[in-house]
């Protein structure tokens, strides 16, 4: 199962799951459970990924070279050695930044159209 | 006492999840199965700690949905990879098995059209309909499992089993055009002919059902059929 080479344009826009995983890995490497916990925290418990969703996405993100496995462990003595840690690649960081920029532009449009305040009314 | 029972409940949940993982393709299960079980164990522990047995029930409802969706997706990806690895004979076997439900459907259609109506619109008052649906799913599932075994075997065998279809082809392309292309390129071999026939057995009933099924049902319901 070799890696696939994608251009940035082919990867954007990202699916919500991929975006959440990339965002969870933006500041540090994490294992599967750590990614899930971080996504829960980021989304105020709204996005809860199951093991199938998480590892299916991780598999395809590894193939697309958005993330890679990390051999380094934060604290090997405290950690379960069977866990695999993942971190962003250079491509992953660039794709994450591009997607964040895309969403930010959309937010500007939403703000200009006075959409944001109306969510509380509904 | 309650600590022992909670430990047993978590252990049982983990064992059930390990069994559930068999719905995923073999290659995916081998690569990510242990990690998924470990993650499930963590989730179970958290859910139980927060809400007790209710939490476990809620987790299972989430896990079942997640598994149903993602296993289907993984099988689709595996099919795309596996389509390139099967030989012509293996393709023939797979397609023949996959065609069985359709062929059975046409046979039943001819014998008793009401069966087909029940099959597509089952309800609790029509147990035969549910049985037919179950039978069809069983046959499709069997074809699927056999196909997965063939793909795994072909990966272990030599490189001569490489590919009816060319690089970059997807599974639909290989299923529909692979055998005809092989006949054109390699002559009218027996295997190629059988393979082409199996395609026809698969495609023709499906086409018939899609194009003429509703019309035939309408005519039959109008009373032209005793």
Which tens digit of pLDDT belongs to each residue from B132-170?
555 555 655 665 555 555 555 444 443 333 433 344 444
Cα dihedral B208, B120, B127, B203 sign: positive
A60 in a structural domain? yes
Listed residue (B226, B216, B31, B221) closest to B105, CA to CA: B216
Q: Spell out which residues of chain A touch residue B41, defining contact as CB-CB under 8 Å.
A: none
Of B78, B112, B139, the last residue of a domain is: B78
Q: Between chains, do B81 and A1 touch, taking CB under 8 Å as contact?
A: yes
For strands A67-70 and A85-88, give the pairing: antiparallel
**B151 touching chain A per CB within 8 A:** no
Joined together, the tokens standing for residue B17 give: 């999840």
**B70 touching chain A per CB within 8 A:** yes
Q: What is the 3-state secondary structure (H, E, C) of A34-100?
A: HHHHHHHHHCCCCCCCCHHHHHHHHHHHHHCCCEEEECCCCCCCCCCCCCCEEEECHHHHHHHHHHH
Joined together, the tokens standing for residue B52 give: 């007790």
Cα dihedral A59, A63, A68, A69 sign: positive
Mutation target vs B (from A4, A52, A63, A85; most B CBs, 10 A cutoff): A52
Pairwise CA distance, residues B92 & B105, whole Å: 20
Q: Between chains, do B40 and A82 touch, taking CB under 8 Å as contact?
A: no
B168 and B187, same domain (yes or no):
yes
Which of A52, A58, A59 is opposite residue B66, by nearest beta carbon?
A52
In total, how many domains does chain B have?
Answer: 2
Q: Between chains, do A51 and B43 touch, taking CB under 8 Å as contact?
A: yes
B55 and B107, same domain (yes or no):
no
B101 and B179, same domain (yes or no):
yes
A96 in a structural domain? yes
**B42 touching chain A per CB within 8 A:** yes
Q: What is the pLDDT of residues B110-138, one digit of tens each?
A: 666 665 555 555 444 455 555 555 555 56
- The C-alpha angle B55, B26, B191, rounded to 5 degrees, equals 145
Provide the residue range defining the domain that includes B200: 87-224
B193 and B92, same domain (yes or no):
yes
B31 and B121, same domain (yes or no):
no
Asked if B199 and B179 count as a contact pair (C-beta separation under 8 A), the reply is yes
Beginning with the edge strand found earlier in the chain, give each strand of the sheet holding A67-70 in spatial order. Answer: A30-31, A85-88, A67-70
Q: What is the pLDDT of residues A99-122, one digit of tens each?
A: 999 999 999 999 899 887 765 544
Helix (H, G, I), strand (E, B) or coil at A26: coil
Q: Spell out which residues of chain B touch residue A83, defining contact as CB-CB under 8 Å.
A: 35, 38
Phi, psi of A87 (to 5 degrees): -140, 165
- Average of per-residue pLDDT across B72-76: 76
**B22 touching chain A per CB within 8 A:** no
Q: Which residue of B has its CA nearest to A83?
A: B35
A108 in a structural domain? yes
Q: Which residue of A has its CA nearest to B76?
A: A56
B97 and B204, same domain (yes or no):
yes
Beta partners for residue A68, in sequence order: A87
B53 and B92, same domain (yes or no):
no
- The C-alpha angle A64, A70, A80, rounded to 5 degrees, equals 125
**The pLDDT value given to residue B156:** 44
**B58 touching chain A per CB within 8 A:** no
**The pLDDT value given to residue B9:** 81
B156 and B70, same domain (yes or no):
no
Provide the residue range defining the domain that includes A108: 12-121
Query: Quick check: pTM over 0.80?
Result: no
In total, how many domains does chain A have?
Answer: 1
A93 in a structural domain? yes
Q: State the ipTM, two decimals.
A: 0.85
B83 pLDDT exceeds 60? no
Listed residue (A33, A56, A1, A20) closest to B70, CA to CA: A56
Q: Which residues contact B181 (CB under 8 A, 6 or more apart)?
A: B164, B165
B62 and B171, same domain (yes or no):
no
Q: Between chains, do A52 and B81 touch, taking CB under 8 Å as contact?
A: no
CATH number of the structural domain spanning residue A29: 1.10.10.10
Q: What is the pLDDT of residues A14-46, one digit of tens each?
A: 999 999 999 999 999 999 999 999 999 999 989
Nearest-neighbour CA in chain B from A75: distance (Å): 19
Joined together, the tokens standing for residue B226 give: 């005793």
Q: Spell out which residues of chain A touch residue B63, defining contact as CB-CB under 8 Å.
A: 50-51
Of B53, B78, B103, the last residue of a domain is: B78
**B44 touching chain A per CB within 8 A:** no
Of B47, B78, B109, the last residue of a domain is: B78
């Amino acid at each position: 199962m070799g890696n696939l080479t994608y251009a940035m344009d082919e990867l954007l826009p990202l699916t919500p799951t991929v975006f959440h995983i990339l965002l969870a890995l933006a500041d540090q490497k994490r294992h599967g459970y750590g990614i899930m916990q971080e996504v829960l925290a980021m989304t105020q418990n709204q996005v809860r990924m199951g093991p199938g969703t998480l590892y299916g996405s991780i598999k395809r993100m590894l193939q697309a070279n958005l993330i890679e496995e990390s051999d380094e462990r934060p604290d090997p003595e405290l950690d379960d050695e069977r866990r695999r840690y993942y971190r962003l690649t250079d491509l992953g960081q660039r794709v994450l930044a591009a997607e964040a920029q895309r969403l930010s532009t959309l937010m500007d449009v939403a703000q200009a159209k006075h959409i944001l305040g109306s969510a509380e009314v509904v | 006492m309650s600590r022992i029972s909670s430990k047993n409940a978590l252990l049982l949940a983990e064992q059930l999840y390990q069994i559930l993982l068999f719905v995923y393709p073999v290659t995916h299960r081998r690569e990510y199965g242990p990690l998924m079980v470990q993650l499930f164990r963590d989730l179970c522990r958290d859910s139980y700690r927060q809400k007790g047995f209710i939490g476990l029930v809620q987790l299972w409802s989430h896990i079942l949905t997640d598994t149903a969706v993602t296993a289907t997706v993984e099988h689709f990806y595996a099919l795309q990879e596996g389509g390139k690895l099967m030989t012509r004979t293996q393709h023939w076997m797979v397609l023949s098995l996959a065609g069985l439900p359709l062929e059975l459907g046409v046979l039943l259609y001819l014998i008793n059209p009401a069966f087909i109506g029940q099959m597509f619109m089952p309800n609790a008052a029509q147990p035969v309909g549910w049985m037919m649906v179950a039978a069809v799913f069983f046959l499709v599932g069997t074809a699927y499992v056999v196909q997965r075994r063939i793909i795994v075997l072909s990966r272990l065998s030599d490189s001569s089993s490489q590919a009816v279809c060319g690089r970059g082809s997807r599974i639909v392309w290989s299923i529909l055009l692979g055998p005809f292309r092989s006949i054109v390129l390699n002559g009218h071999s027996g295997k190629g002919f059988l393979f082409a026939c199996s395609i026809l057995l698969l495609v023709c009933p499906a086409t018939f059902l899609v194009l003429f099924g509703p019309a035939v049902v309408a005519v039959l319901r109008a009373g032209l059929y005793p």
